[in-house]
Chain A
Amino acid sequence: MSARNATAPQIGFSFEYLMWVFTRVSGVALILLGAFGMAAAFWMGARTQVDVATLMRWTFFPNPNHVVNSDIPDVTLGWANAYWQIMQMLIVCFGVTHGINGLRVVLEDYMGRTWWRPMTRGLLFFIWLFILIVAVYVILAS
């Protein structure tokens, strides 16, 4: 951001401030959700049954369809229920929003206050919406 032209962010509630808070909250939430998913995977037998890459796929997205190539015997018993579907939706919502907001921050760093800025925001908003809908569809259709 240019120090000369840009107006300094105002103190108080603004979009940038809310996204700043959200980035931190969702970052911590993703780490905690990942730790929780990994602990649950170990508890359900991942310690002896899976390799590290499969464990990570369970950790971040415990979806039976997601681990379809992994040959886990009891995969549908432990994970295919509403509880883990809600956990997946939390991870997807936090993760995708965190990522799209990060993209916005990076792109707007290299961009002045021209018409490119609202265009980029609009495009990123639709990508955000599209990815969220697709991911929730994958969760519910599994």
Chain B
Amino acid sequence: MALKRNVGLRGFKYRGGGPMWAWILHRISGLAIALFVGTHILASFFMQQFANDLATSLNIIYESAYFQIIVFFIVIYHGLNGLRIIILDTWPQLLEYQREVIWLQWLIFIPVYGLTIAVMVLDLFSGG
């Protein structure tokens, strides 16, 4: 096995800082997108072919604005963090500033996500 010793919750003591949390969030958001998109493809198939009730209600949940608030966070984060990884892999000399790059990534994330959510929530409450 990969790990003979039992790490348990002691793993949380690892103080990797920003890059560690970026990696964890990237992994969790990736798994969430895989789950979401996989279920969504299957639900769309069963909705289209058999007008299945469970599939239709799954798609209605996916389309609701409340669910989209979470999905937008996950997708925009995963995309921006992936771009950061690509850029740092391509120009490794930038790794010297890797912690600053993460702050820059959040500086880009906040307006992109904030504006999207603002438009969506305003739309939701104006009934449009």
Contact = CB atoms under 8 A, between A and B. Distances in A.
B41 A134 contact: yes
A28 to B, nearest CB: 7
A109 B83 CA distance: 22
Greatest chain B CB density within 10 A among A5, A51, A109, A127 is at A51
Nearest to B85: A24
A54 B63 CA distance: 8
Contacts of B48: 65, 138, 141-142
Nearest to B121: A52
A17 to B, nearest CB: 13
Helix, strand, loop or mixed for chain B's interface? helix
A11 B34 CA distance: 30
Contacts of B124: 51
Interface residues of B, number: 35
Contact of A24 (B45, B49, B89): B89
Interface string B29-58: 011011001100110110011000000000
Interface of B: 1-3, 27, 30-31, 33-34, 37-38, 41-42, 44-45, 48-49, 59-60, 63-65, 68, 72, 79, 82-83, 85-86, 89, 116, 119-120, 123-124, 128
Interface of A: 1-2, 5, 24, 27-28, 30-31, 51-54, 56-57, 65-66, 69-70, 92, 95-96, 99-100, 102-103, 106, 109-112, 114, 127, 131, 134-135, 137-138, 141-142
